[in-house]
């Protein structure tokens, strides 16, 4: 009798050309999971594929565009045959005073950050169902707290938290759906051209955990929520922020 060849699992990670997404992709590769780099920027996508090696596939994807998402899912099935995990990480921000935030900019943020999660889940669901798949949505602590001039970003991330438990109920028990809300994560080690200044002692000390977060903190949580040890967990939002949202600040 011909021996059946068992293929290793496949994870789609959106926005994985750099930052948290690239770190998540690296962690998947390390545990034997093949990765689809669903990245809009072709330069970052090709660079990520080179870094991750032959167990990765780059498919240029604009998650805010339904046709692009549909194409990415079709190409994933054509090229790697299955989908086991979907990590909705792609996001943008356009933070400015509300009187200067155009409606077009608002829609662009919402379409990328929130509608992108919906579209990827919608088109991946039929394939995830076949493998008792897992969806992990990356939201933000901005879903529960705000800085000034972040209306579009905050609304999109809060929407992801709500969409997560709705998807968990609708797609369960075939698919588990959870959400991770990162706090302050220093992504410079996974970003080609960091646009932020070096961290200070004060930056670290204001966190109850004693330091600013790293992409590895989020990637480790993604892998845990995708594992069999988490098979009774669905519809939840996990805040990974070094305790910042629990710290009262008096001035």
Angle between helices 116-128 and 66-80 (to 10 degrees): 30
**Alpha-carbon gap, residue 78 to 150, rounded angstroms:** 39
Is residue 17 within 8 A of residue 45, CB to CB? The reply is yes
**CB neighbours of residue 23 within 10 Å:** 25
Q: Is 153 a catalytic residue?
A: yes
| 109, two tokens | 């943020």
**Alpha-carbon gap, residue 22 to 79, rounded angstroms:** 20
Q: Choosing from 27, 85, 127, 153, which is the catalytic residue?
A: 153
Per residue in 93-121, is it b (16+ CB within 10 Å) or e — as a string?
Answer: bbeeeeeebeeeebeebbbbbbbbbbbbb
**Alpha-carbon gap, residue 83 to 126, rounded angstroms:** 9
Q: State the catalytic residues.
A: 153
């Amino acid at each position: 009798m011909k021996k059946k060849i068992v293929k290793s699992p496949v994870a789609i990670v959106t926005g994985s050309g750099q930052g948290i997404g690239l770190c998540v992709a690296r962690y998947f590769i390390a545990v034997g999971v093949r990765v689809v780099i669903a990245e809009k920027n072709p330069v970052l996508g090709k660079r990520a594929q080179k870094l991750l090696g032959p167990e990765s596939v780059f498919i240029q994807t604009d998650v805010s565009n339904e046709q692009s998402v549909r194409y990415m899912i079709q190409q994933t099935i054509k090229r790697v045959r299955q989908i086991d995990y979907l990590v909705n990480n792609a996001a943008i921000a356009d933070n400015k005073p509300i009187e200067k935030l155009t409606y077009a900019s608002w829609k662009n943020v919402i379409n990328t950050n929130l509608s992108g999660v919906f579209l990827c889940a919608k088109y991946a669901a039929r394939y995830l169902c076949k493998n008792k798949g897992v969806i992990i949505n990356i939201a933000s602590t901005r879903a529960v707290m705000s800085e000034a001039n972040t209306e579009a970003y905050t609304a999109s991330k809060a929407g992801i938290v709500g969409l997560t438990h709705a998807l968990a109920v609708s797609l369960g028990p075939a698919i588990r759906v959870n959400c991770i809300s990162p706090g302050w994560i220093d992504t410079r080690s996974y970003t080609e051209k960091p646009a932020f200044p070096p961290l200070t002692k004060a930056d670290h000390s204001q966190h109850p955990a004693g330091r600013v977060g790293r992409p590895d903190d989020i990637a480790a949580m993604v892998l845990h929520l995708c594992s069999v040890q988490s098979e009774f967990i669905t519809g939840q939002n996990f805040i990974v922020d070094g305790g910042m949202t629990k710290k009262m600040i008096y001035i």
